[in-house]
Structure 1
Amino acid sequence: MSKSAVLLLNLGSPDSTSVPDVRRYLEEFLGDERVIDKPAIGFLRSLLVKQIICRFRAPKSAHAYESIWTPEGSPLILTSKQVQAKLQTRTTLPVELAMNYGNPSIPDVLRRLVNQGVDRLLLFPQYPHYAMSSWETVVVKVQREAAVIAPGLKIECVQPYYGDADYIEALVASAKPYLAQPHDHLLFSYHGIPVRHLTKADSSHAHCQVVPDCCTTCSPAHATCYKAQVTRTTQLFAEKAGLKPGSWSITFQSRLVGEPWLSPYTDHAFEEMPGRGIKRLLVITPAFVTDCLETLEEIRVEGAEDYKKAGGEDFTHIPCLNDQPVWIDFLDKRIRAWQETGAVSA
């Protein structure tokens, strides 16, 4: 008989906060050709990542990880395992968890599933939005590893759910207690990507960054356009939450130097908002469903410090969906739909 299973996929973390472990993790992460795709020649890219970027970045990143590490380990891994455990109580299907980089690794988890007799697998990337450097690369990696480890495995994948009504409802519900608190502005901070990745993902080569208001002008290109998708998530959230025009804005965090990335930049906003009279700031990070280095350290620690140094008074980061009941409900509902109808999109 056929046996189905679910595989939750997330980014990953170093095994520890030691510089060697962090450097090893960064080399795997930044060495991914869909994360840093230039230069195109493989050995030159490897040289850039290992000998230049990771060599100097690893000590700084290790220090950042130390600031958020728990006695049990990485917050991202721990929370992801809690999600896995809670979801497992909702379904009879085996629910596994794998990280694109680090552990638990995709090959190890695939082998375990095959040994259990699984021949049909639902991939559930923990990324609401498509990006070559996140959603696409983890799905491709599973497919590539499965072709070697389990060539007979039937793989299906939940599509980006950035506009799914249930996802938006979960986001708004998780943010509602914070929105009820006095504040001057709500900032939607999304992870940045190079602008070049937008045009690279546009198969028409005639819409993204070409058509005026390309993110809000309907186009098939939006199926693989990160900026259009985060714009849609934000618009739907604002409508659902009843936000007033001008009370919210979008920025992008985390970038590498050397080429244009999506803007405006989150760190710049933290520095200039107090001067515009925004003294009480709420920040939400919907590109992440699980709190991690980019939310806990970059936003909640560094961001708060920068904002208050610039004259801000109250800074609140709204936690990610993590293992909240509304998020488990969403995951469970999508898995049930797949079981009953084979649906992998809203």
Structure 2
Amino acid sequence: MDKKGILLVNLGSPKSTAVNDVKEYLDEFLMDERVIDYRWFFRALLVQGIILKTRPAKSAEAYKTVWTDEGSPLIVITEKIRKKLQKLVDVPVEIGMRYAQPSIEAGIQKLVDQGVSEIVLFPLYPQYAMSTTETVIEKAEEVRKKKFPKVKINYIQPFYNRDIYINCLAESIKEKLPENFDVLQFSYHGVPERHIYKTDPTKTCNLNDCCSRDNNPSHQFCYRHQCYKTTEAVIAKIGLPKEKTIVSFQSRLGKDKWIEPYTDETLETIPKKGVKNLAIVCPAFVSDCLETLEEISVEGKEQFQHAGGENFHYIPCLNDEDRWIEVVKILCEEKLNDFYLV
């Protein structure tokens, strides 16, 4: 029988906090046509002609605030997940990053070197988006066809509404909620509105009321819908009233219209509405990274308190919690079993 293996794929990180390393990383990341979806010429003009002139130095300073002795938090945490998962499964487990190193190609090569010919690839994103799940699958297929044509890959699909994930996330949040909080804010990574339409082959999404409509054909491709469904399921599991929760979207880039409401604007307005004690969680991420450790727990806290808020409590991602590793194991084993059914 063909030997099987698991590849865990996350976003990626610069090699170091040096400006040149950050610039190299941002170049690869932002030049991905599924991240900034302009034609190549205009994308290059924006990224290499404008953004990379100033952003790397600023981002390098931000990375310095979250960097650990072991390196990038995202990669360190992903490696911890790999090690814990490896103890629970009897097939090889490796990691790869969509951008920078260790690359998806390097991860596949490590598995192939161990005799693996059938791989379960796990994009570590709960919700589907063009700039996350889709670009990982496209890159992996490109690498497979070019370098590993005999390798078979099964992809784990978004798990935003799977009971095992919802139970895990809800338990984690509930344990970390402060005793006194006015609102629990769910801050998801944002995407441009046009991405929602581009990823909808059914052409039934209108970004108005269809997210709340039952069984709309676009739901399996709609990032915004999936974020709201994750939130609804989690607050139902925790037992929170809807009026004590907020959904927002962070990390927007440029002047294009992104899905709303925006996290930064929300943090600046809710203290005026009486929210003084805020808890905030970022369920688009399973591993803490720059967007959670710096953008939310540092910048977001400053925005909230500057606007009149008092207590700001950031709830960490699932990271390498044992209950999350168990979810990863179950999802991987489902796809491993699919190979046996072929």
**Fold match, TM over 0.5?**
yes
Q: SS of the residue aligned with 2:165?
A: helix
2: CA distance between counterparts of 1:43 and 1:115? Answer: 39
8 A Cα contact 2:287 2:318, kept in partner: yes
Give the superposition deviation at 1:259.
1.1
8 A Cα contact 2:185 2:279, kept in partner: yes
Give the superposition deviation at 1:343.
10
RMSD of aligned Cα (Å) = 1.4
Q: SS of the residue aligned with 2:247?
A: strand
For normalisation by structure 1, the TM-score amounts to 0.95
CA displacement 1:141-162 (0-9 Å, x = unmatched) = 0110111111011111010000
1:226 pairs, out of 216, 223, 227, with 223
Partner of 2:61: 63
2: CA distance between counterparts of 1:111 and 1:325? Answer: 28
8 A Cα contact 1:110 1:149, kept in partner: no
Note closer, same or farther for the CA distance 1:219–1:265 as it changes in structure 2 (3 Å cut): same
Partner of 1:240: 237
2: CA distance between counterparts of 1:206 and 1:224? Answer: 11
Q: Which amino acid in the other structure matches residue 134 of structure 1?
A: T
Q: Which amino acid in the other structure matches residue 8 of structure 1?
A: L
For normalisation by structure 2, the TM-score amounts to 0.96
Q: SS of the residue aligned with 2:184?
A: strand
Q: SS of the residue aligned with 1:119?
A: strand
Give the superposition deviation at 1:341.
4.8
Partner of 1:162: 160
Partner of 2:301: 304
Q: What pairs up with 1:148-297 in 2 under 5 angstroms?
A: 148-179=146-177, 181-209=179-207, 212-217=208-213, 218-297=215-294
1: CA distance between counterparts of 2:96 and 2:102? Answer: 5
8 A Cα contact 1:337 1:343, kept in partner: no
Q: Structure 2: any 5+ residue segments left out of the alignment?
A: none
2: CA distance between counterparts of 1:262 and 1:103? Answer: 30
Q: Which amino acid in the other structure matches residue 127 of structure 2?
A: H
Q: Which amino acid in the other structure matches residue 158 of structure 1?
A: I
CA displacement 1:14-65 (0-9 Å, x = unmatched) = 0000110000000000000000011x2x233223211211221111100100
The alignment-based identity, stated in percent, is 46
1: CA distance between counterparts of 2:340 and 2:22? Answer: 38
2: CA distance between counterparts of 1:151 and 1:343? Answer: 20
Deviates more, 1:332-341 or 1:212-221: 332-341
Q: Which amino acid in the other structure matches residue 210 of structure 2?
A: C
Q: What pairs up with 1:11-22 in 2 under 5 angstroms?
A: 11-22=11-22
Partner of 1:37: 37
2: CA distance between counterparts of 1:311 and 1:45? Answer: 39
Give the superposition deviation at 1:249.
1.0
Q: Structure 1: any 5+ residue segments left out of the alignment?
A: none
Partner of 1:328: 325
Q: Which amino acid in the other structure matches residue 215 of structure 1?
A: C
1:316 pairs, out of 282, 289, 313, with 313
8 A Cα contact 2:204 2:218, kept in partner: no
1: CA distance between counterparts of 2:242 and 2:284? Answer: 22
8 A Cα contact 1:190 1:285, kept in partner: yes
Give the superposition deviation at 1:321.
0.3
Note closer, same or farther for the CA distance 1:201–1:20 as it changes in structure 2 (3 Å cut): same
8 A Cα contact 2:120 2:336, kept in partner: no
2: CA distance between counterparts of 1:183 and 1:313? Answer: 11
> What is the number of equivalent residue pairs in this alignment?
340
2: CA distance between counterparts of 1:224 and 1:310? Answer: 36
8 A Cα contact 1:202 1:208, kept in partner: no
8 A Cα contact 1:19 1:62, kept in partner: yes
Deviates more, 1:196-205 or 1:175-184: 175-184
2: CA distance between counterparts of 1:58 and 1:159? Answer: 33
Give the superposition deviation at 1:208.
3.0
8 A Cα contact 1:183 1:281, kept in partner: yes
1: CA distance between counterparts of 2:274 and 2:205? Answer: 37
CA displacement 1:113-133 (0-9 Å, x = unmatched) = 222221101011100000000
Give the superposition deviation at 1:178.
2.5
